[in-house]
Structure 1
Amino acid sequence: MNPKKDVTESIYYKLAGQIGHIIFLQLMFIISIFPILVSFLFVRYEISNFIFMTPLFFLAVPALAALSSSTLYILESQDIKHLGIYFWKQYRKLFLDALKIGIPVIFATSIILIDIASMQKSSTPIFSWFFILLLLVLLVFTIFVGLINIKFKFRIWDMFKISLVWSMAFPSSVIKVITLSLGLLGIMFFVSGFLIFILTSTYIYLICHELSKMLDWVWKNYTQEGKSSTEV
């Protein structure tokens, strides 16, 4: 028996390696959005300030795409090498494609946040829950479309339709994504907003782990290569 082999193949060794990768990717992510972090030192933690800082949040879009792509890499690869180089290559590769999805989403989020803030100050604040629900729906579809965009080259409208089909076929996946997102938002609002930047890589890891089956499903049902392998 080879003791060294036993150690490297143990679940604890692999778990420690995954945690190390998550921490490293978090560092890369923080570096890539450093201007956003600096801005939080000079603004108050309010919805109005989030809206004012909307253009600055464009920097987070390719960073999140690179983080998600790198996370999928560590989930799918048995031999992970040069993770930092991979992150920045993906940042550059996905920059424009990520912005095509991210810019409309950020503007839509800003509009919804304005509506939520307006409703909270109105005589009928209960209607703000409609916009909160709308924000959750937007978040879920952004995550689905964003991950599909990382792995495949579909048109944006096609990615939206694929996400809609997945949501209707597997509603439990939607519930899990919402649960994870609400958990992160709960930490942001009830503990410390700054922790959202510290826990992002963990959140993305859990999301990618959950939705890796969605990507396999898309590959088998919506790509020529996947359909051919299924028929064989």
Structure 2
Amino acid sequence: MTNLRPPRILVIAGSDSSGGAGIQADIKTITMLSGYAMTAITALTAQNTRGVRAVEACDPDFVAAQMDACMEDIGVDAVKIGMLGSADIAEVVADRLEDLPCPIVFDPVMVATSGSVLADAATIEVFEWLMELATLTTPNVPELEALGGASAMAERGVAYLAKGGDADGPMVEDRLVRPGVEDVVWSEARIVTKHTHGTGCTLSSAIATHLAHGLLLEEAVSKARRFVREALMHAPGFGLGNGPLGHQAVR
């Protein structure tokens, strides 16, 4: 029997104690898409579908040690960056990824679905460095605004996916913007549900996994969007707030 080795995805993000977002959503997504998930945990959170109760950021040197342990032994085919927890952690992550020759997907997590703030101003400043390194940055509506909007992103000359799930209206529009290339827009009917916890984590991890499988960026985004929509439609309905997706039900 031929041993087909799965692509190796290193996730650098925070843990969600309720399992709906963060590292937990990343591992589920990567596994369902036939990837091998490794993690460098940046922060521990006490949270559920109604909000984040407490956050404990990890020591930056420990985050770096986790990254080094994975990269030096198993190796990495793609990286997904999520919640970072502090400016010092963001800097050490950027430094470690500076010369890594593989796709990097950066989800600039600033606010949780519940509304809890997950990145301070100093951390957001370091996002500039990470966006330069990333193959793709995936801001939602408020995150794109905090990063200066489309004009500021154009000045940076980076590729990004402007996610429209937080905008109003019956349709959801996502726009892939790349320097020197015509924009690609996906527009589909909104799936009406309150169970959206972890959509951003899931999408960015799915994109990273598809890139690690060798897909081109546009196809990777398209397939990742389909995965998220199916997971939304199969949400188990857990919790009293914004519940988790149904990763395990996607086929």
- With the length of structure 2 as denominator, give the TM-score of the two structures: 0.26
- With the length of structure 1 as denominator, give the TM-score of the two structures: 0.28
Quick check: which one's helix share is greater?
1
Quick check: which one's strand share is greater?
2
Bigger Cα Rg? 1
